[in-house]
Structure 1
């Protein structure tokens, strides 16, 4: 075929064929705009810091941050340094988006666009979208949190930021944890060929940040999960003879520097080791729908853009690898599409930048590899804790850390936890509970097939409950209702199922304990607003920070916290709570950036919880609503790609009225997967 072809399966998943890789990228961009027109425009304006001019004052703080972080300038810098082929590939995607947005507006295919008339995608806009998705995915928020604790509640440092009690499994990776991935070597496979499976967890948006797609041209035929607004399928894909999946390696790839800035006759200057030096500074204006424009001073020192504070006051800059290197890893994304073996995948990932990923890949010939990929700065240990003085040379970057890799002969499990590969790269990791549970489930079946792997995704065993609830056994002086609940909880299977009344009671008990801990005097300085932009509120949540260290507080109670008395009071509160099921309390609250006046999406109850394999991570200060959850699930079968499976939380489309806006959600809730598309792109049925 010399013409580009677009076909869809019964769930609206696009299958694309084009005569060459650049033409294919153009088609991918156009189809993405057809399906996600409103979302793409929101993503572009978000990366440019221009949401408030169309959506109002609620977005001013984000726009100011995006301008100060220099997202667009970094994207352009990265684009200008691409090799010729990769630049053409990225630019073609942007051209396709422009074509698709124009068509969507003309056909009124996306009614929301009436409130946000499409603008123009520059060749570097896809890079800006990618940078925006990952800017807060690293360690910036955690370092700002530790800075706040050190400055506002120093007496709480050891409790909230110090080493954990050795008898518990609490860990501090709260922002980007929940993802799972596992690989099965042929020796453990029912087909004698490997499997790769997993479920990336992110803050769920509506529509989702991921899009299922099949990309085919004479060079390759790849089924994968793409970032909306970005070409390729870098994170999760099956290319026929090889497949791969990733989790966040939880590495420390951002540094925060304390800056001293002053104004002089020549402009703004920063303190350096040998005196004062001029910095880059200019002003931009954020327009606001229905409000006054906001002047933004954009300042960049030799470390990086200043994102917190003003000239003459305490300022913090952030140093990010893409800005330092002028590289966002897009060349690796293109190379991955051409991979034909596990070694090809390994070589392609050598060009990745950030966030740093833990990668699992397997090929049809039986090779299974695990490794980390991305750039982690080599610098002083103090840099990992929080802001460090920018003018002190000892905090400068000296290079990048090496990565480890290994062959897998049985199974491998990645779950944002510290492993021999990831531990040297970071500070804050997820609890090992999910990894241990997945390993146990894999070990329970001698010969694993796709069905067995699919069932792992929605396992709801909550390991922390198994360790916390035995502490109730010795409590005395309880009311009859509380004593009865204690006995029920001690006999409970600790599964956070949506229809479980005991899971609900346990959650009430847990929330009561967290609330009591948060009211301790030692945490007083952290109970009010942080003074930082609201975009950092999730990292500044005292309740969240206490909840992830709850076991440590029970094992070694802080001064003023009588663990037995507080457990008894929390148990009484749980016994007195109204009858309910976990799914009535634990509901998905997806992030929806919609047009002004749009009603918020319905909230649906779901199983799972933080530290379950089905990691629907609650917000303890929001009545157990959750935002973080599996953004996709997949099982890649290397014996036969057509037997591979996947699902997303909503659907392929983004505009109301499409049958594919949320048609996959019932399957996602139940743990069911769909077959990947496998049409003959030359002659198969066209479902457009």
Structure 2
């Protein structure tokens, strides 16, 4: 991207400097893609007029007479505002980034082609119910009706790429392009490979004791979502495979490519990320009806991953049953998160273990055959031809698939010569995710909602629910494998048959709650069940519970909660972890110089809230990370330390556990001849934290502010990461001071060394069941994907301050807030 950026910067500068009308040309180029949003336009294929009413923030409510017209118009509107994003996303799903961005994207393309997302999506589309395929096709027809006649005005990004010869013309959108994005989302949200690879690397470095210390078991004092889940008792942490049964795993290389693909997708499923949802029954609210809050946390990007949209049949009946508002994915029909006339729903990631690595044993006489239970089976072979911009010939990738999945070693040179690893993953089977989305949009009660979720296969999510009858509920759906043996925490032999997947957890035995006696339900990526009392293995790697615990505290702190209370909860930045760490420090006698002593006082006097103006938060956030590093880095090594320390709430619990034990062996620095004490290590970490803060924020400690350290830039996924200020200035916005941190309800977090924010609340919503028009919602950036459009970045200031936008529902309120109306005609 840096080489691409330099070429773009040079050419763009020449255009602007050498031409007397350079500024005017630039103005024209950046504004030409702005769509028409008032008046009338023809949309071929409609059966009658469709109205698109936009408010002051560019949020469209679409009114139509038939589902075909409704989704055709939604595709048209998505393409108007976000087509470059849609094009980039579909190229991710197809493994075709290198066609536009050159050899720098080849590695990601090879990995995605090896997994075969697009091929699985093709098979899935063929298996979909005819009514679901019809919706996907209507949506695709709407996209094509906009992009094909407007090929030269779809986005400034295309114009800038054209300056260096990256010629492009729009290909028709197809239902497969939509379904493929579901696979990309599933890869990012549908497993726990980050933690599995991190744990495996720790074991290879220092044994299971080190892995358990750094990534401990879920704490017993943290909340469990479904307290009532019961079944046959099982060991909460099945034994790890014996060392002799674990050949070297190439975990370092796998971790690197896995993170590269996640970065390309742009969802940044970093260990410190966190999503929240909670629902409160009417007995606990000021309205007497349920309130439901949701803030799914995803990667920070420009534009936002979400697009707010209302979809309304003018007459709601069996023939046209859609009347729904919420957020959508550009490129996908329907509403993913939101409410209709009777129900509201929200999600957080369930963190299920749906990805296993199998060590395959090839036939010595034929590398395309693999042993299984004493016999050799032929692998499925396919060739992937990857076009790379700037190269005359395509790169040919030969992919081998065993019964467990594709062989990953053929992707990277670093993996060659090692044991062959195949990835088995639930999302590599065709599913019915989009049928679930459409059925949820139409559901009218708990029974219909649960029926819709039977088709939600991957990625498995924690759904909370509320309805106008006063009911609240929770349901975990998803295709979560049942293993013959083990839990998939490390690569296992693929030739024995001992570790095969033998099915999925039956839907009716997945955790579920309806109208719990507590009067509320909270999920925050924390443990869903107590694994000791649930008969199936869901996962071991959860968020470690601070967010869920804090949300429960705030719910119980008041007899009745209002919409405003829920909004304040979304923006809450109180650190329970800091409470515990600083309580442990109170009883310690530390030998400190003046600077560290003052820093200790700053933390002690701090109100525990990580707001942008907080000095105490700045000290604490640097200190605890330095303390974690001081405790474990000598044991795990510097390279691994950067990946697994201080970048996930497992690190917070690990540090909490160690602080409680002054005699723990981990306090000793194995690189020195003497034996260090807990107090010595704490004092050194505090002194180092002060030096870091002085280097970053100056020697005047009274002027230290968390927001001066903790910064967020909303970056375009492609050109915004070029490394060239001229290009990035066009497409990026920021940096801005950012509140929040890892492990807080307002979980805004990222790089643990430089405090650059990578993820945060992608959508904050509060649904008021008593009056849908009082609901609130906001995403990170703005509705438009066109740089310099008024709606490109207008939500950023509100999002940073924890404010929300009204989320109109009724036609009367939509019309009252209308700023523009576009009529689409047949």
Q: Does TM, scored on the shorter chain, surpass 0.5?
A: yes
Give the counterpart of 1:131 among 169, 173, 183: 183
Deviation at 1:131, TM superposition (A): 0.9
The 3 A distance-change label for structure 1 pair 364 and 164 is closer
Aligned to 1:378, what secondary structure does the other structure show?
strand
Tell me, yes or no, if the aligned pair for 1:372 and 1:421 is still in contact at 8 Å: no
Aligned to 1:636, what secondary structure does the other structure show?
strand
Aligned to 2:542, what secondary structure does the other structure show?
coil
Deviation at 1:515, TM superposition (A): 3.3
Separation in structure 2 between the aligned mates of residue 446 and residue 147 of structure 1, nearest angstrom: 46
Tell me, yes or no, if the aligned pair for 1:164 and 1:552 is still in contact at 8 Å: no
Q: Is 2:407 aligned against 1:306?
A: yes
The 3 A distance-change label for structure 1 pair 165 and 124 is closer
Separation in structure 2 between the aligned mates of residue 337 and residue 167 of structure 1, nearest angstrom: 37
Deviation at 1:615, TM superposition (A): 0.4
Bigger Rg over Cα: 2
Aligned to 2:185, what secondary structure does the other structure show?
helix
1:467 counterpart residue number: 580
Q: Is 2:363 aligned against 1:230?
A: no
Give the counterpart of 2:110 among 58, 64, 74: 64
Deviation at 1:551, TM superposition (A): 2.2
Separation in structure 1 between the aligned mates of residue 432 and residue 409 of structure 2, nearest angstrom: 23
1:533 counterpart residue number: none
Tell me, yes or no, if the aligned pair for 2:572 and 2:746 is still in contact at 8 Å: yes
Deviation at 1:164, TM superposition (A): 6.5
What is the Cα-based RMSD across aligned positions, in Å? 2.8
Separation in structure 1 between the aligned mates of residue 789 and residue 71 of structure 2, nearest angstrom: 24
Deviations 1:179-235 (A, max 9, x none): 11111111112111111112001122211211111011232210011122211123x
Separation in structure 2 between the aligned mates of residue 625 and residue 607 of structure 1, nearest angstrom: 12
Deviation at 1:391, TM superposition (A): 1.6
Q: Is 2:556 aligned against 1:443?
A: yes
Tell me, yes or no, if the aligned pair for 1:261 and 1:312 is still in contact at 8 Å: no
1:358 counterpart residue number: 462
Aligned to 2:712, what secondary structure does the other structure show?
coil
Deviation at 1:394, TM superposition (A): 1.7
Aligned to 2:48, what secondary structure does the other structure show?
coil
2:749 counterpart residue number: 617
2:647 counterpart residue number: 544
Give the counterpart of 1:274 among 370, 374, 377: 374
Tell me, yes or no, if the aligned pair for 1:256 and 1:319 is still in contact at 8 Å: yes
Deviations 1:341-389 (A, max 9, x none): 2332122111110111111111111111112111111114523312211
Give the counterpart of 1:412 among 502, 521, 527: 521
Deviation at 1:165, TM superposition (A): 7.6
Separation in structure 2 between the aligned mates of residue 181 and residue 327 of structure 1, nearest angstrom: 25
The 3 A distance-change label for structure 1 pair 66 and 591 is farther
Give the counterpart of 1:504 among 608, 613, 618: 618
Separation in structure 1 between the aligned mates of residue 221 and residue 556 of structure 2, nearest angstrom: 25
Give the counterpart of 2:684 among 569, 582, 589: 569
Question: Unmatched 5+ residue regions in structure 2?
Answer: 1-46, 162-167, 224-235, 238-268, 670-676, 822-826
Tell me, yes or no, if the aligned pair for 2:272 and 2:647 is still in contact at 8 Å: no
Give the counterpart of 1:196 among 267, 289, 292: 292
1:606 counterpart residue number: 738
Question: Equivalent residues in 2 for 1:518-597 (5 A)?
Answer: 518-520=632-634, 522-524=635-637, 526-527=639-640, 540-542=643-645, 544=647, 547-548=651-652, 549-556=654-661, 557=664, 558=666, 560-561=668-669, 562-576=677-691, 577=694, 578=698, 579=701, 580-590=704-714, 592-595=716-719
Q: Is 2:779 aligned against 1:648?
A: yes
Separation in structure 1 between the aligned mates of residue 597 and residue 638 of structure 2, nearest angstrom: 36
The 3 A distance-change label for structure 1 pair 165 and 9 is closer
TM-score, normalization: structure 1? Answer: 0.91
1:286 counterpart residue number: 386
The 3 A distance-change label for structure 1 pair 258 and 91 is farther
Deviates more, 1:1-10 or 1:12-21: 1-10
Separation in structure 2 between the aligned mates of residue 63 and residue 189 of structure 1, nearest angstrom: 50
Give the counterpart of 1:185 among 281, 284, 288: 281
Separation in structure 2 between the aligned mates of residue 526 and residue 269 of structure 1, nearest angstrom: 36
Aligned to 1:564, what secondary structure does the other structure show?
helix
Separation in structure 1 between the aligned mates of residue 595 and residue 418 of structure 2, nearest angstrom: 56
Separation in structure 2 between the aligned mates of residue 416 and residue 166 of structure 1, nearest angstrom: 16
Tell me, yes or no, if the aligned pair for 1:380 and 1:394 is still in contact at 8 Å: yes
Deviations 1:481-504 (A, max 9, x none): 322322231221111111111211
Deviations 1:86-109 (A, max 9, x none): 111112222222223235534x25
Give the counterpart of 1:372 among 461, 476, 484: 476
The 3 A distance-change label for structure 1 pair 176 and 461 is closer
Tell me, yes or no, if the aligned pair for 2:667 and 2:678 is still in contact at 8 Å: no
Separation in structure 2 between the aligned mates of residue 581 and residue 278 of structure 1, nearest angstrom: 61
The 3 A distance-change label for structure 1 pair 490 and 541 is same
Q: Is 2:158 aligned against 1:113?
A: yes
Tell me, yes or no, if the aligned pair for 1:246 and 1:358 is still in contact at 8 Å: yes
Tell me, yes or no, if the aligned pair for 1:33 and 1:104 is still in contact at 8 Å: no
TM-score, normalization: structure 2? Answer: 0.77
Aligned residues: 672
1:535 counterpart residue number: none
Tell me, yes or no, if the aligned pair for 2:344 and 2:466 is still in contact at 8 Å: yes
Aligned to 1:447, what secondary structure does the other structure show?
coil
Q: Is 2:266 aligned against 1:157?
A: no
Q: Is 2:35 aligned against 1:5?
A: no
Q: Is 2:348 aligned against 1:247?
A: yes
Deviation at 1:479, TM superposition (A): 1.2
1:486 counterpart residue number: 600
Separation in structure 2 between the aligned mates of residue 605 and residue 13 of structure 1, nearest angstrom: 26
